[in-house]
Amino acid sequence: MLTKIFFAVGALLTQLVHGAAEPPVSSYSVVEVEWSLPVDPNKPNGAREFVTGTIEEAIAQMDAAHPGWSQTFTSNIQTVDPHALMARGSSPESQSVNCHLDSGKGAANCVDIRDGTRYLGSIDSPAPNNSPHSCGRVSCAYNSAIWWCNDNDSVKETTWKNMASSAWFLQDNCLYYERRTEKVSAQEFMKDEWNIYVTGDRC
């Protein structure tokens, strides 16, 4: 009995620690990312629901509310061509790229960043926005995260595809090998004053 309670509390604490995401750079505040997702992934113009968290948490919440949601969603993302994510127009226009940053949380696995990027690249919901000088964790799985941060004094809007494009670019251009695993810890700043940070993280 006591053991059970002990484990329950332990699990809760673990959740709290994991839930309290820290920004990749301490000078930013953290905002929770909000998603407007179609109740039926095959009907993007149908009813939508709001969920919060990373894309992985958002998918889990949609699947809990609508069994089968995750499977339908993931079967659709196979069609997202990674090269389409890399082919960017004038927006977002890159200002600078820092490869091999030390975020203090280790590096991300490129393979997991690619998965997160494919999720983001397949979402067409209304433009996500971000508060001034704040970061939101848009994807995190297997201790590998994608954050987007607003560097300006006003609210910033972009698209999930723009974020995906930057994260894909970073894992493609800044990857290095740790033993035989592809790793990345890097940040890209855009001219219109936001950035993407790909880093190791706790999740």
Ligand X SMILES: *[C@@H]1O[C@H](CO)[C@@H](O)[C@H](O)[C@H]1NC(C)=O
**192 forms part of the interface with ligand X (CB under 6 A):** yes
Helix (H) or strand (E) holding 165, with range, is helix 160-173
Peptide bond into 92 cis (omega under 30): yes
Exposure letters 44-64 (e unless 16+ CB within 10 A, then b): eeeeeeebebbbbbbbebbbe
- Cβ proximity to ligand X: between 63 and 193 the closer is 193
| Contact string (CB under 6 A) for ligand X, positions 38-67, x = contact | ------------------------------
Residue 147: closest CA among 61, 21, 27, 60: 21
**182 forms part of the interface with ligand X (CB under 6 A):** no
**193 forms part of the interface with ligand X (CB under 6 A):** yes
In angstroms, what is the minimal distance from the CB of 184 to ligand X? 26
When binding is defined by CB under 6 A, the residue of 154, 177, 179, 180 that contacts ligand X is 154
In angstroms, what is the minimal distance from the CB of 191 to ligand X? 7
Residue 141: closest CA among 203, 54, 62: 203
Distance, CA of 57 to CA of 69 (rounded, Å): 13
When binding is defined by CB under 6 A, the residue of 52, 75, 152, 173 that contacts ligand X is 152
In angstroms, what is the minimal distance from the CB of 92 to ligand X? 11
Query: What is the number of other CB atoms lying within 10 angstroms of the CB of residue 129?
Result: 14
**153 forms part of the interface with ligand X (CB under 6 A):** yes
- Cβ proximity to ligand X: between 26 and 154 the closer is 154
Cα separations in angstroms, 125 against 40, 50, 100, 121 = 13, 10, 32, 11
Kind of pairing between the strands at 134-141 and 29-31: parallel
**90 forms part of the interface with ligand X (CB under 6 A):** no
Residues that bind ligand X (rule: CB under 6 A) add up to a total of: 5
Question: Which of these ranges, 75-83, 96-104, 147-155, 158-166, lies near ligand X under the rule CB under 6 A?
Answer: 147-155
> Which position's Cβ is nearest ligand X?
154
